[in-house]
Amino acid sequence: MKKLILAVVLGGVLHGAMAADQGLLEAARTQQAPLLATLKELVLIESGSSDTAGVARVADVSARRLTALGAAVERKDGIVTGRFTGKGSKRLMLIAHMDTVYQPGILATQQYHVDGNRVYGPGIADDKSGIALILHTIEMLHARGWRDYAQLTVIFNPDEEVGSRASGEWIATQAAQHDFVFSCEPNGAQMEGILLSASGIATATMTVQGRAAHAGVAPKVGRNALIELSHQLLQTQDINVPGAQLNWTRANAGLVTNQIPASATAQGDVRLSAADGAQRLQQALSEKVAKPLVADTVTTVAIEQGRPPFIATDAARAWAARAQAIYGEIDRKLALYPGTGGGTDAGYASRSGKAIVLEAFGLAGDGVHGKDEYITIDSIVPRLYLLSRMMQEAGASR
Ligand SMILES: [Zn+2]
């Protein structure tokens, strides 16, 4: 009998599936109803990115909850930052955003409601599920006496859906002082996974300087910036740079019809899939535009970088595999998603390359940025378990 049991246990170990932490799993089950209550409170506050008052009310609730959990809370530029001091050695950071894509009044047509396993509401998945999950994961772990971190930092930002222009630098500089960042954007309802990359965004501006002249009397004296711009757009439209994709989308030249235009500008949309994509594109464009078609004109190109691309490092990929193993403990599967066209603040968090950054720890759901956004109730316990186990392992890592 004893031998048989030993064989069964070994069999389990050999197949790689570790046993679940039953105490933690039970704590997660206890946390489900309170998390749903938090989620409801957050969804009932409309917080479209441009609705400053609404986003501030979400910040009030979030800051109050972090303070109640024992964090020192700092509020700056609409960003809520909570810091917990622990007894361990690692510095952990959790991020989620408070704003949504919806216009004021959205709750009149898209009400909060529960239908079976689904809870509907604007922003419920993206990203109020991330905020609720973070608050209740910390509550659960602290209640169990876990404080295996030197510092645990939580950042809730107000402008993710409009490019994190005010909060991106803060996220990047804070992340650079941490060992791990787990970003809590929502996960998919069909197949949950860890996201390994997301595009960065930039804007390219081409400026041509020519010389004005009377278009009828002395056109040859002028240096036509519009003609030069056209030439430069044509010869750069198919520029091929690994890690950067450019499409010219706007242009402007000339003030009046009887003057040879002295200047012309064009702007383009840039998507980045490599950390140095913007630099390489800048260099390639500068080389291309150096030789003018219209003599004596000067063309310059500038690239303004927005949200950086997110590319999971080898270390982060190893931690994604750990996440898969943790999900295996509770008999669930976790996919590894190679990439998405949408941006994420994991890009800012990973900019310095110092922290191990992983994305998409939020609840499972669907319909984000759409009409019937929802989360699934049966994803709450697994997501609480996954994030808390990841934090435990990160805290205990060397
Ligand atoms: Zn989001």
Same domain, 217 and 352: no
Same domain, 193 and 62: yes
Q: What pLDDT shows up at residue 275?
A: 87
Same domain, 170 and 269: no
Q: Ligand 1 centre from 155 Cα, in Å?
A: 14
Domain, as residue range, for 229:
203-305
Structure tokens, 319: 């931690």
Same domain, 80 and 192: yes
Q: Ligand 1 centre from 324 Cα, in Å?
A: 22
Q: What pLDDT shows up at residue 292?
A: 97
Same domain, 347 and 366: yes
Q: What pLDDT shows up at residue 16?
A: 58
CB 377 within 8 A of CB 118: yes
Is 6 among the domain residues? no
Which is the catalytic residue, given 21, 99, 139, 192?
99
> What b/e readout covers 207-232, taking b as 16+ CB neighbours within 10 angstroms?
bbebbbbebeeeeeebbbbbbbbbbb
CB 222 within 8 A of CB 210: yes
Is 2 among the domain residues? no
Query: Phi and psi of 303, rounded to 5°?
Result: -120, 120
**229: helix, coil or strand?**
helix
pLDDT means per 10 residues in the chain (398 residues)? 39 61 98 98 98 98 98 98 98 98 96 98 98 98 98 98 95 98 96 95 96 97 98 96 95 97 97 93 97 97 94 97 97 92 90 96 94 96 98 97
Q: Ligand 1 centre from 97 Cα, in Å?
A: 7
Same domain, 58 and 151: yes
Q: Report d(CA 197, CA 154) in Å as an integer.
A: 22
Q: What pLDDT shows up at residue 218?
A: 97
Same domain, 160 and 266: no
Which is the catalytic residue, given 126, 139, 160, 161?
160
Q: Report d(CA 182, CA 361) in Å as an integer.
A: 7
**142: helix, coil or strand?**
helix
The structural domain count of the chain equals: 2
Whether 160 sits among the annotated catalytic residues: the reply is yes
Is 210 among the domain residues? yes
Same domain, 220 and 127: no
Q: What pLDDT shows up at residue 357?
A: 98
Strand bridging mode 310-311 / 187-188: unpaired
Same domain, 301 and 318: no
Same domain, 38 and 169: yes
Q: Ligand 1 centre from 126 Cα, in Å?
A: 5
Query: Phi and psi of 8, rounded to 5°?
Result: -65, -45
What is the DSSP secondary-structure string of 33-91?
A: HHHHHHHHHHHTS--BTT-HHHHHHHHHHHHHHHHHTT-EEEEETTEEEEEEE-SSS-E
256 Cβ neighbours under 8 A, 6+ residues apart: none
Domain end, chosen from 263, 281, 305, is at 305
